[in-house]
A and B are shown apart, each in its own frame.
Chain A
């Protein structure tokens, strides 16, 4: 009875398959298993396993070069191509050949790795040079004081002038430019009469009012020594008691640096508003008073007169003929530029 054995695999085949799956668990093939029985198992090992099994069953070693050759071709196909083309001679031991190929590969990796590392280092160095470094030294100026730059050609000169002008003229200025009378900038109006509150008519017969202008800074330190008691409260009845040097608040408009003038008048003063009488001896104490009262006075008047204070500047500019600006070019001409 013929057993159709083409459909059911042989037990040998079965065993080979199972053994190949569990090749890790196999420590040795022993002495009895022939090479051709074991070959399919060996073909499916890794390099380490192959080495191990070879050593455990030395009788297999004469047959294993075949396996090593297969391994070489599998792992290094480029070398396999070269061999097939005849560039590499048949090695004596395929096992050795395999390990030679492994070494070659490792060397090639190292080389490539070194190259990449070197390139990265160079790139890093270049970047470091451009970094901001912290140093104690003063950086060298681009030009030394005695030596000037090489003389520019005419073309260069025009080019640099043109670029400078372009920068200055065609950019929108952030702040309005300082007017030409910047030096005479004042906070309070020049017309000092505005500051003085109108005095009541009843005292006009008795009191002469003279505005005394002085500079606070000039007098301050000078008169600090004179120590007359200061009555700076506005409500105090202006010290009428005597002609003694009792100071009383004096109105001072701290504007023009003029001389101090004061006409001594009998100090039968009424309790008028703050600012009028000036006993003769006030001159010496003027500074002190000035130190106190102007700030007070300023405080009283400055909020009211802030607008007149700012008037002088625009009012002055309005004196210019507005028609003149009609024909000005939108941008300043070359000769008119600010420089």
Chain B
């Protein structure tokens, strides 16, 4: 009997793989990946995207860009639950963006809706 392969339920502790177009792959926790709405949708197990099944999300960007994206995502998810009294070092992230890639990053960030 052929069972329909069910997508395993996602949990926040899952790790997902993000793959850049030039072959770099990054393993991040699901909650980090969910900082990007696009990625969240892609990896959503309720949908039947192949990405969800394989828990791999390819991004059409260079490895450098993907790395920066993920850096931002982890920053954002880290401070997501910060209380109202905590200071978020917003300027720190800005320093970490080199101007050489900023336009590409802008494009990618816009695509990822983050």
Residues of B near A10 (CB, < 8 A) are 109, 114
Asked if A26 and B94 sit within 8 Å, CB to CB, the answer is no
Asked if B76 and A15 sit within 8 Å, CB to CB, the answer is no
Q: In chain B, residues 27-45, which have Cβ atoms closer than 8 Å to a Cβ of chain A?
A: 31, 34-35
Asked if B103 and A26 sit within 8 Å, CB to CB, the answer is yes
Q: A1-B34, A4-B80, A15-B105 are in contact. Are A9 and B90 (CB under 8 A)?
A: yes
Asked if B107 and A33 sit within 8 Å, CB to CB, the answer is yes
The prevalent SS among residues of A at the interface is: loop
Residues of B near A87 (CB, < 8 A) are none
Residues of B near A18 (CB, < 8 A) are 94, 97, 99, 102
* Distance (whole angstroms) from the CB of A44 to the closest CB of chain B: 14
Say yes or no: is A30 at the interface (Cβ < 8 Å to chain B): yes
Can you list 27 A-B contacts (CB < 8 A)? A1-B31, A1-B34, A3-B76, A3-B80, A4-B81, A5-B76, A7-B88, A8-B75, A8-B79, A8-B80, A11-B114, A12-B110, A12-B114, A14-B72, A14-B109, A15-B97, A15-B105, A16-B106, A18-B94, A19-B103, A22-B102, A25-B99, A26-B103, A29-B103, A30-B103, A33-B106, A37-B110
The prevalent SS among residues of B at the interface is: helix
Q: In chain B, residues 57-104, which have Cβ atoms closer than 8 Å to a Cβ of chain A?
A: 69, 72, 75-77, 79-82, 88, 90, 93-94, 97, 99, 102-103
Asked if A8 and B102 sit within 8 Å, CB to CB, the answer is no
Say yes or no: is A104 at the interface (Cβ < 8 Å to chain B): no
Asked if A8 and B99 sit within 8 Å, CB to CB, the answer is no
Residues of A near B105 (CB, < 8 A) are 11, 15
Query: Closest B-chain residue to A5, C-beta based?
Result: B76
Residues of B near A33 (CB, < 8 A) are 103, 106-107
Query: Closest B-chain residue to A38, C-beta based?
Result: B106
Residues of B near A30 (CB, < 8 A) are 103
Q: A9-B90, A11-B109, A14-B94 are in contact. Are A3 and B35 (CB under 8 A)?
A: yes
- Complex CA gap A7/B94 in Å reads 15
Asked if A15 and B77 sit within 8 Å, CB to CB, the answer is no
Residues of B near A7 (CB, < 8 A) are 79, 82, 88
Which A residues are within 8 Å of any B CB, using their own CB?
Answer: 1, 3-5, 7-12, 14-19, 21-22, 25-26, 29-30, 32-34, 37
Query: Closest A-chain residue to B105, C-beta based?
Result: A15
* Distance (whole angstroms) from the CB of A20 to the closest CB of chain B: 10
Give the interface centre of B69, B93, B112 by most chain A CB atoms within 10 Å. Answer: B93
* Distance (whole angstroms) from the CB of A229 to the closest CB of chain B: 119
| 8 Å CB contact of B109 from A4, A8, A15, A29 | A15
Asked if A12 and B109 sit within 8 Å, CB to CB, the answer is yes
Q: A1-B34, A8-B88, A12-B114 are known contacts; what are 20 more A-B pairs with Cβ within 8 Å?
A: A3-B35, A3-B77, A4-B81, A5-B76, A8-B76, A8-B90, A10-B109, A11-B69, A11-B105, A12-B109, A14-B72, A14-B93, A15-B103, A15-B105, A17-B94, A18-B94, A19-B106, A22-B99, A29-B103, A30-B103
